[in-house]
Amino acid sequence: DRDVFIDLLQKELNEKTGKCQVSEDNLTAFKNTLKNKEELIEELYIFQRNLNNKLKNNEEIIKDLQNKFDEEISPLNSKLKNKEKFIEELQNKLHEETKKYQISQENLASLNNELKNKEKLIEELQSKLDEEIKKYQISQENLASLNNELKKKEKFIEELQNNLNEEIGKYQISQKNLTSLNNQLKNKEELIEELQSQTENFKKETTSAFLSRIQTQHVELGELVNYVDMCINFPVAEITYTADLSESFESFMDDNEVKLYEMYGHLFPRKILIGGKLFIDDLKSATSTQIDMFKSFLTWVYDSAKYKKTIPFNNFTALKFFPKITTSDGENLNTYDKLTNWMNNLYQKNSDIIISYNNIVPISELRFGKSSSSVNEMQPGVANFKEKLSLREWVKDSVYINLTRWIKEFRLFQ
């Protein structure tokens, strides 16, 4: 801008200088032609002096303008330099960002390639997954079908097992009784005579005398039953009286009723169970798992003593729970060994303990030829009970009872 301005001033100066030259030529011509015209020359001199003054003034103006221009352009130059530095910095940043962009583009291309590979791999895995899902669905359907069949077979096997256990129990009892009768016939005859004597004595007792004798023989058990959690009978033998008793009482008339009751009592049991009785206590303080484990142990010991089955476990002290157990004789079975020995002795030796009187008929009905039972059961040592449960009924819900059988049948550890 400054150069342009200077050029303009130079052109104006040249024009004015050209005009001055023209005037000088004219003056020379006038000098040659108009020598006498001094006044004109003086005017020309005056004009020249004025022109020079104007030129000087113009130069001063130009200098002032130049100074002003320099003053104005100086901050602009500094700003321009700052802008150039800023532009240079921006340029450097642009180069850096460009490099980063190029690197990111390269990385993006690499990632795109990897993504394509991953997508191919995902497609392959998805196809494999679909195949496996189809196989799994087929296997689930097969498994559901097998489970249904398995449940049916388990129910059928359970029924067969129960029937088999009953038949084996009956067979073993009969075999044991036959062997015992063959080897100890004399002892059995004495036992039968003693039982017959007890039966005759029972016929002669009155109801109050009968209950008094039971309470006398089982005072401790009578006190215990009020507090125990469970009472379980373990029958070994059963004696059933099937003969007609009406003829034995026809000779007694109404006036001999007192004598009849004095001789035979008021009640007559048609069935007597012989065996052992266990009173189990302290079950309320145990957890459900501890009770299930004890049920399993009691079942295994029972099966071992009665059916000669092998107990699957030896170390029962690790269970860390054993309830309070008392027998009908008042014996305290406070260890696993004592309970095992008691169960073995019960089924391997002869027992003469009556644990239950069943199908009890009033003597008054027998007297008139009737035989309906008014009292279904009376248990010595037990005053009353809400529900009669056998060992099998008590332990049927335990999850550990059939544990060893399941392990063998389903080969869980093979």
What are the tens digits of pLDDT across the range 218-256? 334 344 344 467 889 999 989 888 776 666 666 655 556
Can you give the pLDDT at residue 341?
A: 93
> Taking the C-alpha atoms of 317, 236, 391 and 357 in order, what is their torsion angle to the nearest 10 degrees?
-130
Q: How high does pLDDT run on average in the chain?
A: 75
Which residues pair with residue 378 across a beta bridge? Answer: 357
Report pLDDT for 224.
39
315 touches 357 (CB < 8 A): no
Please write the tens of the pLDDT for every residue from 245-300: 666 666 655 556 666 677 767 777 888 999 998 999 888 888 888 888 888 889 98
**% of the chain residues with pLDDT over 70:** 64
Mean pLDDT, rounded, for 147-161: 71
pLDDT in tens, 78-98: 888 899 999 899 999 999 998
Tens-place pLDDT, residues 3-41: 788 888 888 888 888 887 777 777 777 677 767 666 756
**Least reliable range by pLDDT among 1-5, 338-342, 379-383:** 379-383
Q: Is the pLDDT of residue 188 over 60?
A: no
Percent residues over pLDDT 90 in the chain: 8
- Residue 360, pLDDT score: 84
> What size, in residues, is the chain?
414
The answer to whether 47 and 23 are in contact (CB under 8 A) is yes
Q: How far apart are CA 142 and CA 154, in angstroms?
A: 18
Tokens of 89: 């910095």
**Which structure tokens are listed for 253?**
């008339």
Whether pLDDT at 209 is above 50: no
Contact 236, 353 (CB under 8 A): no
Other CB atoms closer than 10 Å to residue 26's CB: what's the count?
11
Most confident of 49-58, 146-155, 249-258: 49-58
Report the pLDDT value the prediction gives residue 339, as an integer from 0 to 100. Answer: 93
Round the CA-based radius of gyration of the chain to a whole number and report it: 64
* pLDDT computed for residue 207 by the predictor: 38
CB 345 within 8 A of CB 224: no
The SS3 assignment for 376 reads strand
Show the tokens assigned to 236: 């070994």
**Contact of 317 with 180, CB cutoff 8 Å:** no
Q: Residue-wise over 185-224: b if at least 16 C-beta within 10 A, else e? A: eeeeeebeeebeeebeebbebbeebbeeebeeebeebbeb
Q: What is the pLDDT of residue 375?
A: 63
Residue with tokens 């497609």: 123
Contacts of 195 (CB under 8 A, 6+ apart): 239, 272, 274, 352
Tokens (6 digits) for 161: 């097992």
> Whose structure tokens read 């004109």?
40
Q: Please, which pLDDT band fits residue 203 given cuts at 50, 70 and 90?
A: very low
Task: Please answer whether residues 169 and 307 qualify as being in contact, where contact means their C-beta atoms are separated by less than 8 angstroms.
Answer: yes
* pLDDT number for residue 226: 45
Mean pLDDT of 212-220: 40
